[in-house]
Structure 1
Amino acid sequence: MTTTTPSTTASGPVGPGPGSGPAFSKAPGTDNRPGRLLAVVIAAQFMALLDVFIVNVAAPTIGAELGASGAGLQLVIAGYTITYAVLLITGARLGDRLGHRRLYLVGLTVFTVASLACGLSRGAGELIAFRLLQGAGSALLIPQVLSLIQRNFTGEARTRALGAYAAVLAVGAAAGQVLGGILVSADLFGTSWRPVFLVNVPVGAVLLIMAGRVLPRDGGAAGKPGEQGAGRRVRGLDLPGLVLLGAAVSLLTVPLVLGQQEGWPPWSWLSLGSAVVLFALFCAYESRLARRGGAPLVAPGVLRIPGMGLAVFRITAVMAVNAGFLFVLTLHVQGGLGYSALRAGLTFAPTAVVFGAVGLTWRRWPAVVQRALIPAGFALTAVSAVAVGLLLRDGGEGGPWLYAAFAGIGAGLSLGFSPTLTRALSTVRPEDAADASGLLSTVAQLGQLIGVACFGALFLNRLESPGAPEAYSSADALLVCAYALAGAATLGAVSGLVRLRR
């Protein structure tokens, strides 16, 4: 279970004036029917979201067939997120500068070609490299999805379009888990795990053909009068900030993933220390750029918006717990309990389905209840995580109560995430909306990266520790991770109580 934080482009949500129709290009050869445009952009969002979870279920099979170590599997999962998180805001700004249609097509092409390369990979190193390329394609593609909806739908049509967008986010996680299990278990033509990547190729090809016909033509970076994009403020790319952030994320991720396998050599600690230094340099550079009137990758002023700092912390905690839970539980049920990929995918379905259902309905709950949703959600996540660990601690399958615990994690994470995101963005001025949304989108991806790296390393370290009973080593490692996941969720609950006191 997870979701992708909706992100706007750097110029924020801009659209035609009230009462006007959708702003579609009238260029020859362009299909101007809004339903088809929505279907094309939503399908791309769904495909990119699916790719996160479909691969998660296939990870143990990939490891067995390619001889990938635990660290290698972490990089297969996290590699996609690394480039996606670092390049997300840049992808949004490139859409403003070069056109959303153009960047959609470029990003979709990169993603599709990278998916083909992933499916044909002959070793773990190749697969990791092409997963990084997939993430870059998503970073170019996904920011354009919401921008195209915002700029081509107005009024009630925009509300319906955004509802469809939210529904895709809600069901993407569950669909990815189940479809990944089906494809791996089917072993089509003896290809084992490869269809989880190759399935993107025909879908991407069809979307490229349809997008060429239905997406409105770009009106240029600045936009001519009457054209889509007119009057938009085009912001710089902040390449130095991009380099600093990318280097800091890489120096943080690599030792977390490889350090345990290598016995935590001196270079791993040096890398972690260097990451801290580079993050500090990144923050200092961004602040200086903002004072000089530039366009920083992450606007420092956004962090000073009331409640934004807490929102950043909570979203990081939600996504770290989510990603860590899925990764370590996948390794346990397939490696420790011997589940097939299909059964593993179905096992996670309650978490994803309940997350989506709660995320779509919590606004309808009584106002008196909504005040306590965030701390209650994190507390429910903590209790449910411990319950999962205890139910599986003897190497058994947990029984029906296990699915109740999975549902509790889905509900708790959704209550921690959805109200946090909504309330944070509701306090943002229109001129700061793009920066705030971009910041929270990036934080969400970095949270997933931290979760896979940290909780994955903890699980693998415990799994390989001397003295653990062989029959229950996987269950023992899972229980330790469950306590750690509960601790992270408890910190989120405390942050929710801080907000309540205000």
Structure 2
Amino acid sequence: MTQAIETAGERPGTPPPDPDHADATPASVAGIPTQPGAPGRLPAAPAPAPAPTRAGSGGRLALALLLLGQFMAILDVSIVNVALPTLRTDLHTSDSGLQLVVAGYILSYAVLLITGARLGGILGHRRTFLTGLAVFTVASLACGLAPGSGSLIAFRFVQGAGAALMTPQVMSLIQRTFTGAARARALGLFTAVVAGGVVVGQAAGGLLVSADIAGSGWRPVFLLNVPIGVALLIAGPRSLPKDHGERGEGLDIPGLLVMSPAVLLVVLPLILGHDEGWPAWCVISIIAGVALFGLFIAVERRIAAQGRRPLISGQVLRVPGLLPAVGVLLLAPATWGAFLFTTTLHLQGDLRMTPLRSGLAFVPCIAAFALVSLTWQRLPAAWHRWLVPAGFTLAAVSYLGIGPLAGGGARYEVITGLIGLGLGVMPIIMTVALEHVPFEVAPDASGLLLTVMQLGQVIGVATIGTVFLTVTADSHSTRHAEYATGWALAAATALAAATAVVLARRRVAIAE
């Protein structure tokens, strides 16, 4: 998914941030990952920050290292999609196993995202970035050498944890290292890297799998990270700016220990239920997960009452318009993640495309997505609030064309391009949602929305992906499955459009 970065707006009566020492700005994000930049933290007493730079070879090298780390994290979401059919054949991976290969990375990233950002503030952004990079690199090597689907899935979870430590620090270090025009250029390059990562991932995944280097099949899609990661680990300690963090505030460990199993208990049955025949334990697990979410709310309230900082602040949830934005950012990324997952299986299934050809088939879709997400701010401001429901309506109608045009050809790629065009409005949701957030809780608000977006992708792969796999198994045809999938995607996107209308109207009411 692509990202566009915006500086937090100032509220009347709220002191503006120090532009040279702010840990991070809220990120306007559309979709994989986006991986994604993440919120920084706002300490009560800022730790000594490195002197901001405006240019210079040292600053450019530091920026290159940070952006390359961000690029790897994004690449690993999309590059795996194209390798799924080859994985199925080589490792005899089940349908639920394929879903977990994709969802495991995003799931651990989503659950640990806010914690990763907080650790950067406590331990220092450079140290946390390099630690996350080391975990990510070792896990990538383990994924590339995995002997079976079970170990691959386990290593994907570890890889996501490394990304959750690494990527939140990228935006924080950019904000703390650059100022003025240099910062603007750095943010522009950051946006370009995130926007291009998905496109490159789809194409590079297809190229690597098709090349079948030394008979390695899918393994290079993971091993590609290893030499890059090692080079960054060698250069990083000398090139990235030093910071020592702020140790006065601890992590919300109780909240994390309750939230993590709650998410797993809800999501894993949705993924595994299809292969297991939906046994009773799936229902019991989901009920237990929902109950743990209730316990998580109680734990967070207690943490806040003790004067400590919870993972999700009640003040954030009370911000006008934020809850509708959460609904939109759960639904829309769900359709995007499911669309990439199911369409890849169809292109290499009934359409018999090579991995390279199937990867290139996504370029019109993702290019349209990037075009809208990077240029929408040039449109009149009065249009912005209505662009989201309009874009989702276009995407919903376009999803309905997936089934009738599932035979491939130019018209199929036109439809997928229209889907990308419609979903490209997702960065606007972040902008609208964060517009009335007080600056002191803006990092927490953006962190919540980013986490919801990642969980949305996981839920999309788990639910709509299961619809696709079930129909494929029953009909022995991915083309027939595309009809059912198209209707499911359209329904979810239409609901996102309706929720976006509620968000737009609340914004008008607040303005008046």
TM-score (norm: length of structure 2): 0.89
Deviations 1:362-406 (A, max 9, x none): 0101234323201001101101111122211xxx22x22212211
1:221 match: 246
Equivalent residue in structure 2 for 1:266, among 256, 272, 280: 280
Equivalent residue in structure 2 for 1:22, among 39, 47, 53: 53
1:276 match: 290
**What is the alpha-carbon distance in structure 1 between the residues aligned to residue 237 and residue 61 of structure 2?**
12
1:371 match: 385
Question: 8 Å contact 1:37–1:214 — kept in the other structure?
Answer: yes
**What is the alpha-carbon distance in structure 2 between the residues aligned to residue 496 and residue 218 of structure 1?**
40
2:15 match: none
The residue correspondences of 1:114-133 to structure 2 (distance < 5 A) are 114-133=139-158
Q: Which amino acid aligns with 2:233?
A: L
1:77 match: 102
Equivalent residue in structure 1 for 2:215, among 165, 168, 190: 190
**How far apart are residue 23 of structure 1 and its match?**
9.7
The residue correspondences of 1:491-502 to structure 2 (distance < 5 A) are 491-502=495-506
Would you say 1:326 and 2:357 are equivalent positions? no
Q: Which amino acid aligns with 2:373?
A: G
Question: 8 Å contact 1:174–1:349 — kept in the other structure?
Answer: yes
Would you say 1:380 and 2:394 are equivalent positions? yes
1:400 match: 410
SS of residue paired to 1:371: helix
SS of residue paired to 2:80: helix
**What is the alpha-carbon distance in structure 2 between the residues aligned to residue 323 and residue 12 of structure 1?**
34
Question: 8 Å contact 1:13–1:150 — kept in the other structure?
Answer: no
**What is the alpha-carbon distance in structure 1 between the residues aligned to residue 376 and residue 310 of structure 2?**
34
Question: 8 Å contact 1:320–1:448 — kept in the other structure?
Answer: yes
2:329 match: 315
2:205 match: 180
Change in 2 beyond 3 A, CA 1:13/1:180:
farther
**What is the alpha-carbon distance in structure 2 between the residues aligned to residue 372 and residue 241 of structure 1?**
36
**What is the alpha-carbon distance in structure 2 between the residues aligned to residue 212 and residue 21 of structure 1?**
18
Equivalent residue in structure 2 for 1:337, among 336, 351, 363: 351
The residue correspondences of 1:82-121 to structure 2 (distance < 5 A) are 82-121=107-146
Would you say 1:7 and 2:38 are equivalent positions? yes
2:452 match: 443
**What is the alpha-carbon distance in structure 2 between the residues aligned to residue 500 and residue 360 of structure 1?**
21
Question: 8 Å contact 1:32–1:214 — kept in the other structure?
Answer: no
Greater CA drift, 106-115 or 331-340: 331-340
Question: 8 Å contact 1:84–1:138 — kept in the other structure?
Answer: yes
**What is the alpha-carbon distance in structure 2 between the residues aligned to residue 39 and residue 92 of structure 1?**
20
Deviations 1:3-46 (A, max 9, x none): 425322222799999xx74399xxxxxx9721111111011000
**What is the alpha-carbon distance in structure 2 between the residues aligned to residue 359 and residue 254 of structure 1?**
31
2:20 match: none
**What is the alpha-carbon distance in structure 2 between the residues aligned to residue 110 and residue 321 of structure 1?**
30
TM-align CA RMSD: 2.0
Question: 8 Å contact 1:115–1:198 — kept in the other structure?
Answer: yes
4+ long deviations beyond 6 Å: 12-17
**What is the alpha-carbon distance in structure 1 between the residues aligned to residue 119 and residue 386 of structure 2?**
40
**What is the alpha-carbon distance in structure 1 between the residues aligned to residue 211 and residue 349 of structure 2?**
19
The residue correspondences of 1:295-310 to structure 2 (distance < 5 A) are 295-310=309-324
Would you say 1:208 and 2:239 are equivalent positions? no
1:489 match: 493
Deviations 1:212-237 (A, max 9, x none): 21111223435xxxxxxxxxxx5321
Question: 8 Å contact 2:43–2:246 — kept in the other structure?
Answer: no
2:92 match: 67
TM-score (norm: length of structure 1): 0.91
Q: Which amino acid aligns with 1:486?
A: A
Question: 8 Å contact 1:53–1:173 — kept in the other structure?
Answer: yes
Deviations 1:182-228 (A, max 9, x none): 00000011111000000000010111112121111223435xxxxxx
Q: How many percent of aligned residue pairs carry the same amino acid?
A: 50
Deviations 1:326-368 (A, max 9, x none): 1111111112221111011001111111111111100101234
**How far apart are residue 474 of structure 1 and its match?**
1.2
Deviations 1:397-443 (A, max 9, x none): 2x22212211111111111x111011222322110111011111111
**How far apart are residue 455 of structure 1 and its match?**
1.0
**What is the alpha-carbon distance in structure 1 between the residues aligned to residue 188 and residue 328 of structure 2?**
24
The residue correspondences of 1:352-367 to structure 2 (distance < 5 A) are 352-367=366-381
Change in 2 beyond 3 A, CA 1:13/1:191:
farther
Greater CA drift, 436-445 or 65-74: 436-445
Equivalent residue in structure 1 for 2:77, among 49, 52, 61: 52
Change in 2 beyond 3 A, CA 1:163/1:12:
farther
2:253 match: 239
Question: 8 Å contact 2:267–2:462 — kept in the other structure?
Answer: yes
**How far apart are residue 162 of structure 1 and its match?**
1.1
Q: Which amino acid aligns with 1:485?
A: L
Q: Which amino acid aligns with 2:413?
A: Y
Would you say 1:429 and 2:413 are equivalent positions? no
Equivalent residue in structure 2 for 1:419, among 416, 424, 428: 428
